[in-house]
Amino acid sequence: MVLCLRLQKPSPVPLEVEGLTPESLSTKSLAEIERLTIFQGNREVALGEYFRASGDPGDAVVEWQGDLAGVHWIGAKMTTGEVRVVGNAGRHLGSEMRGGRIVVEGDAGDWVGGEMHGGLIHVHGRAGHLVGAAYRGSARGMSGGTIMINGDVGNEIGHTMRRGMLVVGGNTGDLVGFNMLAGSVLTFGETGIRHGAGMHRGTLGFFGPTAPPLLPTFRHACRYRPEILRIVFASLRSHGFPLPDDVEALEVDLYNGDMIEGGRGEMLIRAA
Residues 15 and 97 in one domain: no
Residues 210 and 261 in one domain: yes
Distance of CA 162 to the CA centre of its chain: 14
DSSP 68: B
Last residue of a domain, one of 9, 43, 59: 59
Residues 168 and 36 in one domain: no
Residues 85 and 168 in one domain: yes
Residues 261 and 144 in one domain: yes
Cα–Cα distance, 210 to 230 (Å, whole number): 21
- CATH code assigned at 212: 2.160.20.60
Last residue of a domain, one of 39, 59, 79: 59
How many domains in the chain?
Answer: 2
Residues spanned by the domain of 168:
67-270
Cα–Cα distance, 5 to 8 (Å, whole number): 9
Residues 121 and 171 in one domain: yes
Residues 127 and 40 in one domain: no
Cα–Cα distance, 238 to 182 (Å, whole number): 24
Residues 54 and 112 in one domain: no
pLDDT tens, the chain, 272 aa long: 899 999 999 999 999 999 999 999 999 999 999 999 999 999 999 999 999 999 999 999 999 999 999 999 999 999 999 999 999 999 999 999 999 999 999 999 999 999 999 999 999 999 999 999 999 999 999 999 999 999 999 999 999 999 999 999 999 999 999 999 999 999 999 999 999 999 999 999 999 999 999 999 999 999 999 999 999 999 999 999 999 988 888 999 999 999 999 999 999 999 98
Give the global pTM.
0.97
Residues 136 and 29 in one domain: no
Are 198 and 216 within 8 A, CB to CB?
no
Residues 99 and 175 in one domain: yes
Residues 13 and 114 in one domain: no
Residues 26 and 43 in one domain: yes
Cα–Cα distance, 113 to 16 (Å, whole number): 16
